[in-house]
Amino acid sequence: MQGKFIVVEGLEGAGKSSVIQLLLNRVKKAGYKCITTREPGGTPMAEAIRECVKHPWQEHVAQETELMLMYAARRQLLVNTIFPALDNNVWVIGDRHNLSSLAYQGGGRQIDEHIMRTLSEITLKDFTPDLTLYLDVDPQTGLERARGRGELDRIEQAGLAFFERTRARYIELAGNDESIITINAMQPIDQVHQDVMSSLNRFLECQ
């Protein structure tokens, strides 16, 4: 039996970490083996790429460089962690996946859609998550929450307009894909978690 791949998406400060822990506990309670991953990262090489992506370099980082690093890390994670887990009936809960690149680099950085589509096809080979939960938060609020956690990394310093474009692309993509469920992350945390659990329980009922 094949495992399932569930992804949690959203801007900085959307509350992904607490939602991922909630999902992990519920999936395990349902009797499935389950692991968590993050992007970029999740394997030794992919984690090294993550550090490279987020580092505040004293030089201009070309948008295409950032994009290709993201997809290189994603491919490493898929081949070495996600695919083997799913083949062994282990569920995987991911902190970000391809939707992040489509929103951040495609929307925020405004990279050409043909380039995005080509890299996605090379990296994913038609692989898609079984369920994606998009935690929607106002960029200003999300960045304020992120600042409360500590110093912002290179991408988090991209500016409000960048995150507004990113959010707009998230909303557009989620609205056109029935496997993506949008959760209002501006609500009180208890209500956010209740909405997440309702969505997950409906998904589990279909398994």
Instruction: List for the chain the helix, strand, coil content (%; round to 5).
Output: 55, 15, 30
* pTM > 0.75: yes or no: yes
The pLDDT value recorded for residue 149 is: 79
- Give me the mean pLDDT over the 80-103 stretch: 98
Q: What is the mean pLDDT of residues 75-102?
A: 98
* Structural domains in the chain (count): 1
Dist. CA 53–CA 39, nearest whole Å: 11
Helix pair 113-124, 63-77: axis angle to 10 deg: 20
Residue span of the structural domain in which 29 resides: 5-205
Tens of pLDDT, residue by residue over 110-160, are 999 999 999 999 999 999 999 999 999 999 999 889 888 777 788 888 889
Taking only the tens place, the pLDDT of each residue in 161-181 is 999 999 999 999 999 999 999
pLDDT (tens digit per residue) in 34-73: 999 999 999 999 999 999 999 999 999 999 999 999 999 9
Count of CB atoms situated within 10 Å of the CB of 88: 11
Q: What's the CATH number where 148 sits?
A: 3.40.50.300
> Where would I find the beta strands (DSSP E) of the chain?
5-10, 34-38, 91-95, 131-136, 180-184
Among residues 207, 168, 200, 203, the alpha carbon closest in space to that of 23 is found at: 200
DSSP bridge partners of 181: 133
